Amino acid sequence: MALEKTLAIVLRTFDWSESSRTIAFFAKEFGRIYLADKGGKSIKSKRGRVLKFALLEVTFYDSKKESSGYISDVELIKMYDMSGDGSLGRLAYASAACELLEQLLPKEEPQRELFTYFNLFMEKLNTAERKSLPALFLSFFLRLLSQLGYHPSLGFCVGCSTEFTELKKETIAEYVPFSPERGGLVCPSCQTPGDYYIGLPLRAFAQLLKLQSASLKEAESVRVSFGEASLLLEALVKFLQYHAEISSKIKSLEFLDKLKKTQLKSE
């Protein structure tokens, strides 16, 4: 049984006893992996603690005969405590990012570039101004889709390939028709009666298009309200349900949608 070491971030935990659990990690050298955490929940455990929203160095035994290996030791490298202004929103966005990764990452396939990007996203989410949070998460969401081979068509109509900038001038007044099933923007002339479309506000859609190619640093200066972000995220999640066979909803985003009417509302 080989002893391995990797940088990793917790994506999800599955409790199976009072002291033990299985943990889904996004590991730099291994991608999405599941490791048994035997006795790790116990306060008597002598090894390092497995913390959520933290960059960890995880030492584990890689079992080839069992469904997963098990943790040997854990060292905290960096903590993302999400304690700044709007902490509930920061935690909700961080949780949603982890949910997406756990559902979308292929099992045991290294994604080193994406792992580095995810850590940068967590750092930005931890330190950015509250008004930057929606754009940062949308930017992360779009980059994740692109890295894993899903790419919603925002700049061009999926039917005739006409550029969005041209459609905006001629045929789109207030709302942009987005088809989750067809994969993106559909201009009025390419729409099919009876098909399902989500009408996205023109300004919000233009910001989404900008974020599709923006770095996280650039995304910090893009202003998307929490209300607009809710509509855009609904469209992207429905896109995923069609194209990545994700049937469940992102629970953290549902929680965030409730919060936007209270302390997280920034409009």
What domains does the chain contain, in order, with CATH numbers?
Answer: 2-79 (2.40.50.140), 87-153+181-259 (1.20.1440.120)
Query: Between 167 and 210, where is the model more confident?
Result: 210
pLDDT given for residue 2 in this prediction? 83
| Region 121-131 average pLDDT | 95
Q: Is the pLDDT of residue 267 over 50?
A: no
pLDDT average, residue stretch 107-121: 96
pLDDT reading at 265 higher than 60: no
pTM listed for this prediction = 0.90
Distance separating alpha carbons of residues 266 and 246, to the nearest angstrom: 30
pLDDT of residue 254: 74
Give 12: exposed, middle or buried? Use CB within 10 Å, 0-12, 13-18, 19+.
middle
248 has pLDDT over 70: no
The Cα–Cα gap between 204 and 218 comes to 16
User: Could you tell me which of 30, 25, 32 has the C-alpha nearest to residue 51?
Assistant: 25
Q: What pLDDT, on a 0 to 100 scale, did the predictor assign at position 65?
A: 64
- Token pair belonging to 190: 């390419």
What average pLDDT score do residues 203-207 get?
93
Q: CA geometry: angle at 242 spanning 239 and 248, to 5°?
A: 90
Would you state the pLDDT for residue 166? 83
Q: Is the pLDDT of residue 43 over 70?
A: no
266: pLDDT confidence band, cut at 50, 70 and 90?
Answer: very low
Return the sign of the alpha-carbon dihedral for residues 119, 120, 123, 128: negative
Q: Mean pLDDT across the stretch 18-44?
A: 86
Give residue-wise pLDDT tens across range 61-108.
987 665 678 999 999 999 999 998 889 889 999 999 999 999 999 999
